[in-house]
Structure 1
Amino acid sequence: METGPILIKIRLYDIENEDGSDAIEKILDVRTEGIEKRVEETHFVDLSGSIGKSGKSFAIDGRLPDSTVPGSSINIFVKMEGEVFGQSTSRTLLSPDGVKGLLNAPHGCAEQTMKRMAPTALALRYLDLSQRWYELAPGTRDTALKFTEEGYIRILTFKKGDGSYGAWTHYPTSYWLTGLVVKVMSLVAERQNAGSGEKGRWAQGVSEQHIIDSVRYLLVKQKEDGSFSDPNPVIHREMQGGIGGIEGDVSMTAFITVALYRSLPFLTDNKERNDTKAIISKATDYLLSRVEELQRPYAVAITAYCLSVCLSDRTQAEPAWEKLKGLATEGIVLLHSC
């Protein structure tokens, strides 16, 4: 049998009325027998020679094990990165089993609902894009979809008439929480549109109008200097990470700007899309003007990320990245910010 993804279409047909009433498509990923084995090695190459000859060269053993299944897909890849903490390092941290731990059923108020829905949606996106669902138990993706859909349905019960969100409908609106809803809904809608071979599995699709309503609310909350603030912070401050406090105006602006950027594909009106781009541009100008004076690692990190994502000329984000690396503490096997 041919290996690889095979599209299977199941159609319900009404013989009496000679009509196809419904259909669903699934992708069957056919693999060879045996267990896939990956061996990853990381070598540091010091071109300056400061750590001796061993730091300048290394050998790769290209011999295959005797137990290799004939006809199976066999590859050897070599990838070079110019960063100590690059994708090869982060890949080991994002194991499918670890990401699975982010899947949670939503419950509670709007803040508690998003506290569980956000990591679930991000885990769904990561495992879809990395195509690593097969490393988890069968049905795990269905569970992730179920939790995501339940979260979407539940969060809409907290939506106010102006498109904003608070912990409860009678609580003051939180700009940060509204931005989080925009971002997560946009990421979920992106996965629905991509389909990932299982588009028919989505029972409850994200409505673009719900995204648009919240974006409209946020657009008029930008200050003259391009920044965003939140007059009514969330109750569950732990869900915000490092946002707030000193340099909170910068981290809040970066967070909401990223949320607005993620919403752009779902803004159906050209004028509205252009207005949103103008707001994003004004916000990034504000962030660029603040980079040099920033001191808190979180504010620097989210600013660097926002500028890299939202600016067409990503070289403009380099000063923020350089500043972030300057705040890092480097060890033998670890690079982190304090």
Structure 2
Amino acid sequence: FVRLALPASALRTEGVAAVATVYNYEPGEVTVRLELTLPAGLNVTGDRVRTVTVPGNSAQSTTYMLGCNAVGLHPLRLTGQTLASVGLADAVQRMLRVRPEGIERVLSYSKLMDVTAGAPASLSIPLQLPKDTVADSAHATVSITGDLMGAPLSGLEGLLRQPFGCGEQTMITLAPNVYALRYTSATGTATAEFTERATRNIRSGYVRELRYRHGDGSFSAFGERDDSGSSWLTAFVLKVFAEASEFAFIDPAVLTAAAGFLADTQKSGGAFPKVGTVCHDEMMGGAAGADGERAMTAFVGIALTEALDVLPAGAQKDRVRTAVQSAASYLVKGPTGPLQAGPAVYTACVRAYALQLMAKRGLATPAEAAAALDVVKAAATDDGGLANWNTDAAAGGSAKARATPECLGCGGHWRRPMSTSIEATAYATLALVQAGDMGLAYSAAKWLVSQQSETGAFRSTQDTIVGLQALAEYGAAIAAAKPTVAVVIEDGAGTTQQVQVDAGTWNVLQTREVAPTGTVAVSATGTGKVIALTTLKYNVPRDPEPPIFNLTTGCVFEGADRSRARCRFCTSLAPGQGSLTGQVMMELGLFTGYAFDTASISSLLANTRLKRIDQDQGKTQVYVDYLKGGEELCIVYDIIQQLVTQNLQPVPHLVYEYYSPDRKGAAMGHVADTYEGAGLAKALGEPGAHVGPVGGGWGLTGSASGAAPCGWLLGLVCMACLLQLR
């Protein structure tokens, strides 16, 4: 039989090796005629038809060098046939995805359209591509659904592009599935296939999360690698595990131990202080003292209140009940007057939701819960009929929902709200649903929908989880009648497409491709509510946003055969971007035909600042505990050639704060066009990680053979040129 080995993907203009192998299991030698059939977007160097002689019980290979000329998914077919007298034949088809060069940008806008008989709804969104858009990279779609949870339900496993390799991030594999199952059960839309898939995700997330459990029942981001458990993460895990126990087995001993750990941390006045590392620092209100501690108390109180529904009867459950009552007494002492935009708004929203839950279980009075909710209602901001709660004092008012976007792609056309503004609005929505105020809850739900990405996620792990819970509980509470809506989509090229949303299709995400330039007009007639999601994707040569992180990156071949390269990646906070980050993610791109050297990647963990390394889909993700202003983190690692690639193209590298992913930096990584000796690779240092002052001189920073001094990356190029001149 025949086999065709290809890289997972390639970049346009690269030449990649396609290795055709013929396996002969007959005892005698056979001669095989191979023919490679290609689409128009690919070309081959040399003959497409070749003859291979294969000895008995062995294999023989031949390599086709393919030129990647066009972006797209290209089918390749390899056929092998012996002489007619032998009568053996085989064929195989493989797909090669050719990607455009550059850095991908994804922009989206979502709107909840309320259609009533005789009053159609409409939406108009101009799409504009930047002048430096990479050719053939633009792609635009409009998706329509009558289901408030349509986008996230269509791809639960892919809600976030971000990795989930530590304790909190792992919960993204679990929590959205819980809320999805609750929602589909309440709306009667759960199917056997969906239920099985979501339940499987819950089980796998539960097992994975137990890796980060401490002996005292607490949890932390990296488990026993951390000095102690985290009260914030333990509360988060307890809440989600308690909710998940409705759908899958959760060991009651795990719940009891986590609740006991939290109860042990409570102060005599009822407050829950920060214990251990708080991954989600924004919830501390950006300020020390009562405001941050009140937010923490509300968060822990929510978890313990929900845990009471599933904890086994006994002394520990009674102790938890007493702790919740004490927390309620502390929370009711919160602010009663008007709130200014800022961290206090977040605290008020999470406090209101906590007291609503407690009041429903007799652990706080209805009057206390109502008073806390009144404070939240008074702090709401109205953006064109969309209610939201702004946590950004610098914004001076609205969190700026995308009610009327100027366009997608023209840059700077809206101010995206802080992640905590989304989270605060979600908590407010949850509190309103608990209180039965569905009018204001609907306005807030519309705002939340407008903040979703094309996958249904929001900006980070935490606001996605709380936001989806809010939309799911609102959608389940209203149990709205199924829409009957006819949608017409007209794009900038004048193409018109229709989408019908009715009782048979209301919970299906129906997607139509549209021209990526010009104005997209969406009109809807009939009765009911539908969501219209417009997404524009394109590539640019470089990230147009001002970088929060500075990056320098480059690789050098170690030998003339290019079988191995050594790479160096350095990052630091840009000037004026603060003195300390939260958890930082470094995403290392990978050149076509190469794989990361496992030993060199593993060596990075010798530096305790680096907590974990994951490899997935051609990228390596490095978890960095934090980064200080004025310091630079550099890592050195090796990559190994697996398939020959010609005309290697640069690949993007990315650094961002996990909990504020818009705080990022991006750069294109290159391989130096020289391979005259190992000296260049030695200049980059041995594999490992190093933290030092910015410009502190670690590695290649000086001159080479009389050349003028230059930075390490420029120095690498300078040295390469000098070697070539020799």
The answer to whether the superposition gives a TM-score over 0.5 is: yes
1:300 match: 348
State how far apart, in whole Å, the 2-side matches of 1:97 and 1:132 are: 15
SS of the residue aligned with 2:215?
coil
1:224-303 equivalence runs, <5 A: 224-235=268-279, 237=280, 242-246=283-287, 247-292=291-336, 295=339, 296-303=344-351
| 2:207 pairs with 1:153 | yes
* Aligned-partner SS, 1:214: helix
| Alignment partner of 1:173 is 2:221 | no
Q: Which sections of structure 1, spanning at least 5 residues, go unmatched?
A: 1-39, 44-57, 60-91, 193-201
Change (3 A) 1:322 1:131: same
Question: How far off its partner does 1:329 sit?
Answer: 1.6
Q: Secondary structure at the match of 2:254?
A: helix
**Pairing 1:314–2:401 present:** no
The answer as to 2:119 corresponding to 1:119 is no
Distance 2:275 2:314 in 1: 30
The correspondence for 1:336, drawn from 385, 388, 404, is 388
Identity among equivalent pairs (%): 27
CA distance in 1, matches of 2:174, 2:284: 19
Taking structure 1 as reference, are residues 241 and 95 closer, same or farther at Cα in structure 2, changes over 3 Å only? farther
Does the aligned pair in 2 maintain the 1:120–1:148 contact within 8 Å?
A: yes
Deviations 1:70-94 (A, max 9, x none): xxxxxxxxxxxxxxxxxxxxxx783
Given that residues 338 and 379 in structure 2 are in contact (C-alpha distance below 8 angstroms), is that contact kept between their aligned partners in structure 1?
no
Runs of 4+ in 1 over 3 A off after TM superposition: 40-43, 96-107, 240-244
Are residue 186 (structure 1) and residue 227 (structure 2) matched? no
Whether contact under 8 Å (1:96, 1:133) holds in the other structure is no
CA shift digits 1:99-157 (9 cap, x unpaired): 444445995121221243222322222222332235xxx72322211111000011112
- Secondary structure at the counterpart of residue 153 of structure 1: helix
The 3-state SS of whatever aligns with 2:199 is helix
Q: Distance in 2 between matches of 1:278 and 1:104?
A: 40
> What residue in structure 1 maps to residue 166 of structure 2?
109
Q: Could you tell me the TM-score, scaled by structure 2's length?
A: 0.30
Asked whether the equivalents of residues 285 and 347 of structure 2 are also in contact (C-alpha less than 8 Å), the reply is no
Preserved CA contact (<8 Å) 2:178 2:243: yes
Instruction: Give 1:234 shift.
Output: 3.5
Q: Which residue of 2 aligns with 1:164?
A: 218
**C-alpha displacement of 1:233:** 2.8
Give 3-state SS (helix, strand or coil) of 1:330's partner: strand
Q: Residues 294 and 103 of structure 1: is their aligned pair in 2 closer, same or farther, counting only changes over 3 Å?
A: farther
Q: Which runs of 5+ in 2 are unaligned?
A: 1-112, 119-145, 391-726
1:129 partnered with 2:173: no
Between Structure 1 and Structure 2, how many residues are aligned?
237
SS in 2 for 1:213: helix
Q: Distance in 1 between matches of 2:350 and 2:156?
A: 21
Q: What is the alpha-carbon distance in structure 1 between the residues aligned to residue 256 and residue 164 of structure 2?
A: 24
Which range moved further: 157-166 or 97-106? 97-106
Q: Which has the higher contact order (CA 8 A, sep 6+)?
A: 2
1:231–1:208: structure 2 CA closer, same or farther, 3 Å change rule? closer
Relative to structure 1, the CA distance from residue 248 to residue 123 in structure 2 (aligned partners, 3 Å threshold; closer, same or farther) is: farther
Taking the aligned partners of 2:347 and 2:115, their CA distance within structure 1 comes to 30
Instruction: Please identify which structure carries the higher strand content.
Output: 2
Alpha-carbon offset, residue 337 of structure 1: 1.6
Change in Cα spacing, 1:314 to 1:113, as seen in structure 2 (3 Å) is: same
Separation in 2, partners of 1:94, 1:187: 21
Distance 1:294 1:157 in 2: 44
Does the 8 Å CA contact 2:337/2:375 hold for their aligned counterparts? no
Q: Which secondary structure state, in structure 2, belongs to the residue aligned with residue 114 of structure 1?
A: helix
1:182 Cα deviation after fit: 0.6
| Greater Cα offset, 214-223 or 244-253 | 244-253
With over 3 angstroms needed to count, the CA separation of the structure-2 counterparts of 1:270 and 1:109, relative to structure 1, is same
Q: Give the one of 198, 211, 226 matched to 1:144.
A: 198
Rg comparison, structure with higher value: 2
Residue type at the aligned position of 1:159: R
Instruction: Give yes or no for contact 1:294–1:300 (8 Å, CA) kept in 2.
Output: no
Aligned partners of 1:188 and 1:206 also within 8 Å: yes
CA distance in 2, matches of 1:162, 1:104: 33
Displacement of 1:304 after TM fit?
0.6
* Shift of residue 323, structure 1, vs aligned partner: 0.9
Letter of the 1:308 partner, please give it.
Q
Q: Give the whole-Å Cα distance in 2 for the aligned partners of 1:242 and 1:101.
A: 28
